[in-house]
Every structure is written in structure tokens, then in C-alpha cells.
Amino acid sequence: MHDLVITNARICDGLGSALRPGSLGVKDGRISALGEDVGSGRESFDAGGLVLAPGIVDTHTHYDAQITWDPSLNPSPALGVTTVVMGNCGFAIAPCRAADRDLTMRNLVRVEGMSLDAMHAGIQWRFESFPEYMDMIAESGVVPNLAAFVGHSAVRTYVLGDDAPRRQATVDEIAQMCAIVREAMDAGAIGFATSTSPSHNGASGEPMPSRLANDEELRALVGVLGEAERGIFMLTKGGGTSIPFLESLAAETSRPVMIAALLHNSTNPDGVFQELDQIRDARERGHKLYGQVSCCPLTMEFTLAAPYPLEGIAAWSPALTAAPGDLPGILADTGFRDSVEGDLSEPAPVRLFNGEWHKLRVLEVVKPENRCFEGHDVAELAAAEGKRPLDWMLDLALEENLRTTFVAVLLNSDDSAVAKLLTHPASAIALSDAGAHLSFFCDAGFGLHLLGYWVRERQVMSLEEGVRRLTSEPADIYGIRDRGRLSVGAHADLLLFDPQRVARGSSRRVFDLPAGAPRLTSDAIGVHGVWVNGTRVVDDNGVSSDGAGPGQRPGQLLREFAS
């Protein structure tokens, strides 16, 4: 007898097969039967003709801090996600010496938009090494399945200390870093992650440590994966890192390379497709390169006290490194403003903001007399006053002590271009950034957005293909065994949804982080159930549960992967 039988479902197996009516049986956390009549179970659930699919595999998250206080990894399970991969871009919290904890947290405040108060109150520092971190997670338990990268910036900080964001590593230091990566792989890391993106800056405005690595350092660290004959190399690519160099790493190590974040930039409309074409050509030569794309427009809320979208502008550097008391004077300085304007006159494909002022709106003001600006774009407001848009934005922010909230649609704003990204043969759909940028945006529901907007409304791909792109494809790329598919013997990670309604809801602000810190979240629409390893974690009302205790949290910490 099965533990659970789900009847009257429309089965979407995650492998691209056509939808078919049927039932599914679960025994000991795995799919034990699949077909029209699978027999009886201790528990039975009538799917009511809804679509039953594998749970979503989210391969680009930043739950590294949150996992220490929140085993449910909220809000991902309620949004259909049953497996997450964290540590992307190399922004991990292990390994970490006690002396570096404050720096690590302050780096995450700047680079990932996390709350320092929440991290101070929430992170459980019961570890130093990566293996100790993994053991702590295993002991506490987790609701969705979880895999973790060993992160370059964390490793670099552990070895180089204060010099990590300032210089290249010596031969001996590279050897020490390789030993840490080797230890992490032995402890079950899914791979090694890094970033060379100019948008990724740390606490003091200096580059995140990984950006100081030269090609020799990267080659040595990725080489550890080749020695181990397992693991995936993930990086968020800056303009100085070429696809041919990354192909050479894949060729030398025989390991897959996941390249993020390939988003469409309206000021350089062909750039992302040129890179995807290079990745496709490398694949045709037998090298496993993938281009990580997003199905969501990149929209961010920010203030000038923490202007993440603007920090990739080279001339913004004086503001980036300024002490808080000096920042207003810098933002008011005409020379500073002229330099920023000069940079913006030369669009850069790897920069988040490229002077598209009509896509930047005033979201919320502080002073009542300024409420007339809310909802209007900066280009329109500046023109009405005869000012440059940059001057108008900075003047308003300074008037309100840098507390004005702006919202910008930065990248992926052209639907026709995004449709082309999603259907490109070299693309892999991810980039939710769940767990990070909590005050800027919430894309944890990216999978529901794909199924609702791109599949149902835009009909860019079939439902079967959309589910495959969110489930078996990422599981196979990352070597996650027996997940992302409905087949006998696979783990029973399940998502039940209504294809006529499925979507992600609008973002809303809640105050449920440690220390009462705020975050943006969104609710699922059309989701009627989520199961992890056969245990229901989200009910028909979208309410998720983390179980009564560590022993009852159904997720697995994934430590073994296909080679």
C-alpha cells in the first residue's frame, strides 16, 4: 500500500511528455506508482483535474544567511519551489572566521541588499568551516531540498583577510584556497561559485573579493572540480571575463559552467544574444556551457542611501566609498554629477542602470508636499522643471534626507527580447535571487511567472516545455539526481496548480525578518499544494509549514550529485 495516492490529476512529468490524466502513488518519500489506477494509499488526495507536476528547482538563490534562522526558506516553498541552490555568485557565509563575521554581514548588506539588523539577530554562527556549516544545516533540518555552492568571496576572505578585496593572491594563497574548495566538495558542495561583475561591491565600496582574482586563480579553483570529477562552476560574469576563457575552463576540467546573469539591456540590445550564441557554439563543440537568463523584468526599489542599481556606474565610486556623513555633500557636488552624466552617456552592457530615466519612477516620498511626484517617472518630472533627470532625482533625495524611494525597471523590459532569451537553445531559466535584495524586489515566484505569463498569456512555449525548463532541465544540469521529474523511483517533490490561474501575486512589504526588519514578498496564485519528499508543505490556501521540529522537516540537504 502507498503512503499517499493523488488521484484525478493531469500529469505533467517534467520531461516534456504530453499532459495525460492519471494518478500518482508515494511510498517512503518517492514516487511508487504512476498511471490511470495506482491502487490505494493510507492517505488519498483528489487533485480535482488540476495539473500535477514536479516541484520547481530554483538554482539561483541567496539563502545562505536565512537558512540559519528559517528552515522553511520562506517564501520559496509557497511559490512552488521544492529544491533550492544557494551560494550563487560566491556570496556565502562559510567558511568564515569569528573575526570576519561582521565584515561578511556588512558585505551582504551592500551586495545583496540584506538587513544588517536581521543578520545580527538571526544568523546562528555555530560553524567556521564549510563542512561545519553543512553539518549544522543537516542537524537543524530544512523544508525544501537544499544544495550549496562553496563561495569564492568567502574562501578568499578566509585566506587573505583584509587584503581579499584589494590584491591578487600569491601562489601559496591560491593553494590554500584550493584546499578549502576541495574540503567543501568532499563535504557535499554542489560546486564552486564566483562573480566578476562590476555591480558587486562590498561593505566599504571596494569590490567583492572574487573580483580581484586573476585568470590563474580562477583556473586553479575550477580545476579542483576537474580533479574531483564532479560539481558545476557558476559565475556572474563581468565584461572582462570572456566566453572563450570560460569555455577553456570547461574544456580543461570537463565540468559544466553556468554563466549569469544574461539579461536584455535595451541600450545594447544585441549584446546578450551575442553571448548566448557564443555559449551555443561552445556547446556544439562538446563543452557544457549554459547562459542563465530570467523570465522576469529586473525591477528594483531603492533609496539614495543604498542605491544598488547605480553602483555599477564608474563615476559613482566617490559616493560608494563615502562615509555616511559625507554622502550628501558628494551627491550635491556639480563635478560629481557631471562625471556621472558623462559615464551614462556611454551605455555599458554589464551595468544595471544606463540612463533610461523614463523607466525610473518616484515610488514613495517622505514630505507631504512632494506626494504629487509619486507614480511619475523622473524624465517627466525633470523636464517639467527644466532640469537634468540626474539633478532632479538627487535634489529630491537630498531634500528628503535620502529617504525617497524610487523604483526602476532596469533590464529585461522588452517582452519580445525576453521571449527570445527564454527560447534560446543555450539558455537556462533561473535568477530568482530569492533570499537577497529583500528591500528591492522579490522574484522567488519566477517559476509561477513563467507558467502564468510566458506559457499561458504569451504562449511563448507549451505548458509541458515550461514545466520541463523549471524542473528536469535544471536538475540534470546541476547533477541533482531523481528530482525534477514524475517517474517511478524519483523523489516525490510535487506541485499541484491550476494552469488557468497560476501566477505570482504583486509584491508586498512585510516585517517578519529577525529584529522586525522588512522584506518584499509575493503570494502564489493558482497553487493548490506542494509536497517535498512526499510530505505536504503547502496547502490549498497557500499556507506553508516547517513541521513541528527538525526531525519532521521533509527536505534533504543534498550532498551527492551526478558526475
Closest C-alpha to 359, from 345, 380, 373: 380
Assess whether 73 and 203 both reside in one domain: yes
The pLDDT > 90 percentage for the chain reads 85
* pLDDT (average), residues 30-38: 95
Question: Looking at the domain assignment, is residue 276 inside a domain?
Answer: yes
Query: Which helix (H) or strand (E) covers residue 259, if one does?
Result: strand 257-260
Which pLDDT score is estimated for 203?
A: 84
How many angstroms separate the Cα of 285 from the Cα of each of 150, 426, 524? 28, 13, 41
Which position has the higher pLDDT, 120 or 267?
Answer: 120
Question: Looking at the domain assignment, is residue 557 inside a domain?
Answer: no
Residue 505, amino acid: G
Angle at 253 between CA 432 and CA 243, to 5 degrees: 55
The SS3 of residue 23 is strand
pLDDT in tens, 303-358: 998 888 898 898 999 998 888 899 999 999 999 999 999 999 987 766 789 899 99
Which pLDDT score is estimated for 112?
A: 84
Provide the grid cell at 331. 551627491
Which pLDDT score is estimated for 349?
A: 65
pLDDT tops 90 at residue 552: no
Which position has the higher pLDDT, 141 or 312?
Answer: 141
Closest C-alpha to 408, from 358, 367, 372, 364: 358
Assess whether 305 and 439 both reside in one domain: no
* pLDDT (average), residues 188-212: 93
Domain C-terminal end among 365, 384, 411: 411
Q: Is the dihedral of CA 347, 351, 354, 359 positive or negative?
A: positive
Number of domains in the chain: 2
> What's the rounded Cα separation, in Å, for the pair 156 and 274?
32
Which pLDDT score is estimated for 530?
A: 98
Which pLDDT score is estimated for 239?
A: 86
Assess whether 379 and 462 both reside in one domain: no
Domain C-terminal end among 411, 442, 462: 411
Assess whether 151 and 73 both reside in one domain: yes
Assess whether 90 and 222 both reside in one domain: yes
Closest C-alpha to 316, from 328, 331, 301, 329: 331
Determine if the pTM surpasses 0.85: yes
pLDDT tops 50 at residue 522: yes
* pLDDT (average), residues 277-304: 95
Question: Looking at the domain assignment, is residue 14 inside a domain?
Answer: no
Q: Which band of pLDDT confidence, cut at 50, 70 and 90, is reported for residue 551?
A: low
Query: Which helix (H) or strand (E) covers residue 360, if one does?
Result: strand 360-364
Assess whether 142 and 58 both reside in one domain: yes
Assess whether 172 and 289 both reside in one domain: yes
The pLDDT > 70 percentage for the chain reads 98
Which of these ranges, 209-223, 497-511, 538-552, has the smallest mean pLDDT?
Answer: 538-552
pLDDT tops 90 at residue 445: yes
Other Cβ atoms within 10 Å of 118 Cβ, number = 23
Phi-psi region of 489 (alpha: psi -120 to 50; beta: other; left: phi over 0): left
Closest C-alpha to 293, from 478, 428, 454: 428
Which pLDDT score is estimated for 9?
A: 98
Assess whether 221 and 90 both reside in one domain: yes
Which position has the higher pLDDT, 203 or 406?
Answer: 406
pLDDT tops 50 at residue 40: yes
* pLDDT (average), residues 209-215: 97
Asked, as a colleague might, if the bond just before 95 is cis with ω within 30 of 0, I would say yes
The SS3 of residue 289 is strand
State the CATH number of the domain containing residue 204: 3.20.20.140
Question: Looking at the domain assignment, is residue 376 inside a domain?
Answer: yes
Domain that holds residue 424: 54-297+412-479+486-545
pLDDT tops 60 at residue 281: yes
> What's the rounded Cα separation, in Å, for the pair 428 and 269?
19
Residue 207, amino acid: P
pLDDT in tens, 478-507: 999 999 999 999 999 999 999 999 999 998
> What's the rounded Cα separation, in Å, for the pair 376 and 370?
12
* pLDDT (average), residues 96-122: 93
Which of these ranges, 95-109, 157-171, 389-403, 537-551, has the smallest mean pLDDT?
Answer: 537-551
Domain C-terminal end among 411, 426, 461: 411
* pLDDT (average), residues 150-178: 97
Assess whether 88 and 232 both reside in one domain: yes
Assess whether 114 and 236 both reside in one domain: yes
Question: Looking at the domain assignment, is residue 343 inside a domain?
Answer: yes
How many angstroms separate the Cα of 419 from the Cα of each of 235, 356, 409, 455, 467? 23, 21, 17, 10, 16
Q: Which band of pLDDT confidence, cut at 50, 70 and 90, is reported for residue 110?
A: confident
Which pLDDT score is estimated for 546?
A: 54
Assess whether 262 and 137 both reside in one domain: yes
Tell me the β-bridge partners of 411.
298
Question: Looking at the domain assignment, is residue 558 inside a domain?
Answer: no
Tell me the β-bridge partners of 384.
none
> What's the rounded Cα separation, in Å, for the pair 391 and 397?
10
Pinpoint the alpha helices (H) of 362-414.
378-385, 389-399
82-108 as b/e: b if 16+ CB within 10 A: bbbbbbbbbbbbbbbeeebbebbbbbb
Q: Do 360 and 304 contact (CB within 8 A), yes or no? A: no
Which pLDDT score is estimated for 548?
A: 47
What percent helix, strand, coil does the chain show, rounded to 5? 35, 20, 40
Provide the grid cell at 220. 586553479
Question: Looking at the domain assignment, is residue 2 inside a domain?
Answer: no
Question: Looking at the domain assignment, is residue 15 inside a domain?
Answer: no
Q: Is 545 exposed, middle or buried (0-12, 13-18, 19+ CB in 10 A)?
A: middle
Assess whether 377 and 432 both reside in one domain: no
* pLDDT (average), residues 517-532: 95
Closest C-alpha to 253, from 273, 275, 233: 233
